[in-house]
């Protein structure tokens, strides 16, 4: 998050851009949005069909003290341009004008141009924008201005221009639909487009606001007439507007002020207010802090069984303040429960002193009071530490077996056994936990094999393999985990998955691979539902780890499903849980971001219809993989069928 708010100001056309620029900057604004051409001339052209005889500015006005100021200017495309007018003559002259203005903006090297969209369907605008973007070598952003909701449409205003009636479409389709239509038509260049969202005076329903969070909002457009004047005479926004702006700030957006100055203190006061709003945000929490720069970026899920984790990866995970405390608490409770049970056994044994006597001199090896804890996948040892701490707190003797297959992690473990844990009953076992053979069985398994989707790092298969070394009444920490799925709308993530086509050489495979993503620019379309449950230890080891689930989600409003978000929740022991479920995320737990199952093509869903999602977890001798498909309202292909794009190696 930038330390300062980026606030721009939309100004009316004058030929003295240089003064406008100086005065805006001195009022604290970071950028200006000004007309590219004189609005009047464009209007004349539309009426007469002839281009104006001269362009209204030379590019010299974009200089200030001999330096170019273009980097601080957003060029505003003339409002009269209407390339999708029903009137052919207007359409044709508008197309020419639009291309001329865009070309002028590109010539000037402006970072962005802004175009107001006021029709539900804009096929010609879409076509011309693609044409323009495809033809330009220097990147330029197209800012498309949409009202947040229909309500601010003024039938006597812009929308009634050219004498056309407001169509039924316009009333039934919200501006979000206009954007959806336009962004679909321009699918090949959406990266070049950004949404400028105009805040209305009366804020709409939460659903109408929240659907915009999945779109590439670059800027909020705030009218001066939204402001109230406070007791001290300063402009302030209503609380409700403050809250909405704060939410959008999370997307790192800019703000643009528009409208006449209605405050005695001048435009500077508005800028100061927005800057204050920016600074009044809650400080980012640890999760936000840790994930900075990773938002909405696709990461390939780890395969710790196949690949040895790196030192960096271990150290990132070990920093999690919640996770290891939760483990320690769970181990503590499990040790207490086991010890009291053992002590109970001990008491019973003490009633048979003659038997007990035989063992007094090898009491250290007695399993009646000492608990055997096996840390499966010990890594660099954080769970060994958690076990040592828990045992100390529980005043319980433990023997710890640290099982690890990563030879690099073993160097660290060995040194800790020799130094840090010297004198403690900690033993190292090198190798794969699935081949675990120890002389004694464990009271407690402790493992941290969970992925973003719970089972996706093969915890079930690993723990099943080790289970023969767990006592019949032994405890596994975690003792269960459940995955959750929810339909996801996020143009950003859809664009990212499509883009990654170019990285892998296998065309289209990137659309059939699950990704780990710190979700931000997105919207969940329905509450998450339970997918797969695994429990440890398993009652019957021959039971399959294959799973199949069919979830039906009711979608409240017109939406686009770009993928399915996946989460997990684990019960470590009794009431000690870890969760990345969005409704009950463990506080400060930074080790996992959600998983996303992408869809090859977005699925458009009408309000109140049902999305049926089918997900399989499949297991062969060598691999585990997921397959997924939408069945309703329209089917998709089965993604990753036969694991052809993505498999997790056993």
Answer yes or no: are the C-beta atoms of 493 and 563 closer than 8 Å.
yes
Both tokens assigned to 605: 């869903």
Which is closer to its own copies, CB of 184 or CB of 210? 184
- Specify the stretch interacting with its own copies by CB under 8 A; choose among 483-491, 533-541, 591-599, 625-633: 625-633
Q: For residue 596, which of 481, 502, 488, 524 has the smallest C-alpha distance?
A: 488
Q: Is 448 a catalytic residue?
A: yes
Question: Which residues inside 602-621 make contact with its own copies, applying CB under 8 A?
Answer: 604, 612, 614, 616
Instruction: Report, in Å, the least distance between residue 611 CB and its own copies.
Output: 13
H or E stretch at 523: strand 523-524
Q: Which of 124, 150, 271, 459 binds its own copies (CB under 8 A)?
A: 124
Specify the residue, 185 or 402, whose C-beta has the smaller distance to its own copies.
185
**Distance of alpha carbon 430 from alpha carbon 437, whole angstroms:** 11
Secondary structure (H, E, C), 375-396: EECCCCCHHHHHHHHHHHHHCC
Of 181, 385, 447, 523, the residue at the interface with its own copies (CB under 8 A) is 181
Encoded one letter per residue, x for contact with its own copies by CB under 8 A and - for no contact, window 55-94 reads: ------------------------------------x---
Nearest to 597 by CA among 507, 448, 484, 459: 484
For 637, the token pair is: 């292909």
Question: Rule CB under 8 A: which of 496-525 touch its own copies?
Answer: 501, 507
C-beta of 638 vs 650, nearer to its own copies: 638
> What is each CA distance from 238 to 8, 265, 275, 277, 331, in whole angstroms?
20, 19, 16, 12, 50
- Given the residues 45, 101, 215, 448, select the one marked as catalytic: 448
151 is catalytic: no
Numbered residues of the known binding site for S-adenosyl-L-methionine? 314, 323-324, 404, 432-433
Exactly one of 13, 121, 509, 623 binds its own copies (CB under 8 A); which one?
121
Site stretch for its own copies (CB under 8 A), options 122-130, 345-353, 377-385, 418-426: 122-130
**Interface with its own copies in residues 447-506 (CB under 8 A):** 501
Separation of alpha carbons 345 and 495, rounded Å:
62
Q: How far is the CB of 634 from its own copies (least distance, A)?
A: 5
Give the residue, chosen from 12, 50, 355, 550, that forms a contact with its own copies under the rule CB under 8 A. Answer: 550
* 298 Cβ contact list (under 8 Å, min separation 6): 493, 496, 497, 500, 515, 516, 517, 596
Determine which residue in the list 268, 302, 319, 641 makes contact with its own copies, applying CB under 8 A.
641
Does residue number 186 form part of the binding site for its own copies (CB under 8 A)?
A: yes
Element holding 115 (H helix, E strand): strand 112-116
Q: What is d(CA 626, CA 630) in angstroms, rounded to the nearest whole number?
A: 14
- Minimum separation from the CB atom of position 473 to its own copies (A): 29
Residue number, 131 or 275, with CB nearest to its own copies: 131
Structure token pair of residue 566: 């996946």
Question: CA of 565: how far to CAs of 507, 517, 599, in Å?
Answer: 23, 9, 11
Q: Candidates 36, 126, 144, 450: give the one binding its own copies (CB under 8 A).
A: 126
Task: Work out which of 176, 180, 267, 278 binds its own copies, going by CB under 8 A.
Answer: 180
Beta bridge partners of 222: 257
Which range touches its own copies (CB under 8 A), out of 46-54, 121-129, 155-163, 562-570? 121-129
Please state, in angstroms and as integers, the Cα–Cα distance from residue 329 to each residue in 374, 396, 574, following that order: 16, 14, 10
Whole-angstrom Cα distance, residue 265 to residue 468? 77
Looking at 1, 55, 79, 187, which residue binds its own copies (CB under 8 A)?
A: 187
Q: Is 549 in the site for its own copies (CB under 8 A)?
A: no
Beta strand ranges found along 431-514 (DSSP E): 442-447, 470-477, 480-489
Tokens at 415, concatenated: 């040194």
Stretch that binds its own copies, among 22-30, 254-262, 471-479, 626-634 (CB under 8 A): 626-634
Q: Crossing angle for the helix pair 88-108 and 123-135, nearest 10 degrees? A: 30
Size of the site for its own copies (CB under 8 A): 38
Active-site residue, from 457, 496, 569, 627: 457
Give me the least distance between CB of 546 and its own copies, in Å please.
Answer: 9
Q: Cα–Cα–Cα angle for 600, 605, 611, nearest 5°? A: 80
Interface region with its own copies, contact rule CB under 8 A, candidates 73-81, 243-251, 347-355, 631-639: 631-639
List active site positions. 448, 457
Positions in the binding site for its own copies (CB under 8 A): 91, 121, 123-124, 126-127, 130-131, 134-135, 180-181, 184-188, 501, 507, 548, 550, 601, 604, 612, 614, 616, 627, 629, 631-632, 634-638, 641-642, 644
């Amino acid at each position: 998050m930038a330390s300062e708010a980026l606030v721009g100001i939309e100004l009316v056309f004058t030929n003295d851009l240089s003064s406008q620029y100086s005065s805006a900057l001195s009022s604290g604004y970071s950028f200006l949005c000004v007309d590219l051409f004189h609005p009047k001339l464009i209007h004349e052209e539309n009426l007469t069909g002839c281009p104006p005889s001269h362009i209204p500015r030379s590019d010299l006005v974009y200089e200030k003290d001999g330096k170019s100021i273009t980097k601080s200017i957003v060029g505003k495309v003339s409002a009269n341009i209407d390339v999708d007018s029903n009137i052919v003559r207007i359409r044709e002259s508008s197309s020419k004008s639009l291309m001329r203005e865009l070309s002028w903006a590109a010539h000037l090297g402006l970072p962005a141009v802004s175009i107001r969209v006021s029709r539900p369907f804009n096929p010609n605008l879409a076509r011309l924008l693609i044409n323009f973007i495809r033809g330009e070598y220097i990147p330029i952003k197209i800012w498309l201005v949409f009202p947040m909701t229909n309500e601010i449409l003024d039938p006597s205003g812009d929308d009634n221009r050219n004498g056309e009636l407001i169509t039924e479409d316009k009333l039934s389709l919200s501006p979000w639909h206009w954007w959806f239509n336009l962004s679909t038509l321009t699918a090949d260049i959406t990266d070049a487009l950004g949404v400028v969202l105009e805040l209305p005076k009366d804020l709409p329903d939460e659903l109408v606001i929240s659907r915009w969070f999945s779109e590439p909002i670059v800027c909020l457009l705030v009218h001066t007439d939204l402001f109230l004047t406070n007791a001290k005479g300063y402009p302030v926004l209503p609380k409700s507007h403050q809250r909405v702006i704060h939410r959008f700030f999370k997307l790192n957006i800019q703000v643009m002020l528009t409208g006449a100055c209605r405050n005695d203190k001048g435009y500077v006061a508005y800028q100061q207010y927005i800057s204050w709003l920016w600074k009044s945000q809650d400080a980012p929490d640890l999760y936000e802090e840790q994930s900075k720069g990773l938002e909405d970026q696709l990461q390939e899920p780890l395969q710790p069984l196949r690949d040895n984790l790196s030192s960096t990866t271990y150290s990132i995970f070990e920093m999690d303040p919640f996770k290891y405390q939760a483990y320690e608490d769970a181990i503590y409770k499990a040790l207490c429960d086991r010890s009291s049970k053992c002590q109970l056994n001990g008491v019973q044994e003490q009633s048979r002193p003659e038997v007990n006597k035989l063992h007094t001199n090898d009491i250290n090896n007695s399993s009646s009071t000492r608990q055997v804890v096996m840390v499966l996948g010990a890594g660099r040892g954080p769970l060994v530490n958690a076990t040592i701490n828990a045992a100390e707190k529980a005043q319980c003797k433990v023997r710890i077996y640290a099982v690890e297959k990563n030879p690099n992690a073993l160097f660290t473990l060995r040194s800790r056994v020799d130094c840090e844990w010297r004198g403690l009953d900690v033993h190292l076992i090198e190798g794969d936990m699935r081949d675990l053979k120890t002389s004694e069985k464990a009271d407690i398994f402790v493992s941290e094999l969970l992925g973003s989707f719970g089972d996706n790092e093969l915890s079930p298969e690993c723990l099943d393999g080790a289970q023969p070394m767990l006592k019949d009444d032994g405890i596994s920490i975690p003792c269960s985990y459940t995955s959750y799925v929810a339909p996801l709308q996020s143009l950003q993530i859809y664009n990212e998955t499509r883009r990654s086509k170019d990285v892998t050489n296998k065309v289209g495979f990137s659309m059939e691979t699950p990704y780990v993503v710190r979700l931000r620019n997105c919207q969940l379309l329905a509450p998450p539902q339970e997918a797969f449950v695994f429990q440890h230890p398993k009652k019957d080891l021959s039971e399959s780890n294959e799973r199949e689930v069919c979830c039906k989600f009711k979608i409240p409003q017109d939406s686009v499903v770009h993928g399915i978000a996946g989460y997990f929740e684990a019960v470590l022991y009794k009431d000690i849980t870890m969760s990345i479920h969005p409704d009950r995320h463990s506080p400060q737990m930074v080790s996992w971001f959600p998983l996303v199952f992408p869809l090859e093509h977005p699925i458009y869903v009408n309000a109140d219809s049902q999305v049926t999602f089918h997900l399989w977890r499949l297991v062969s001798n060598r691999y585990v993989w997921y397959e997924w498909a939408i069945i309703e309202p329209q089917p998709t292909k089965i993604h990753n069928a036969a694991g052809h794009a993505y498999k997790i190696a056993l």
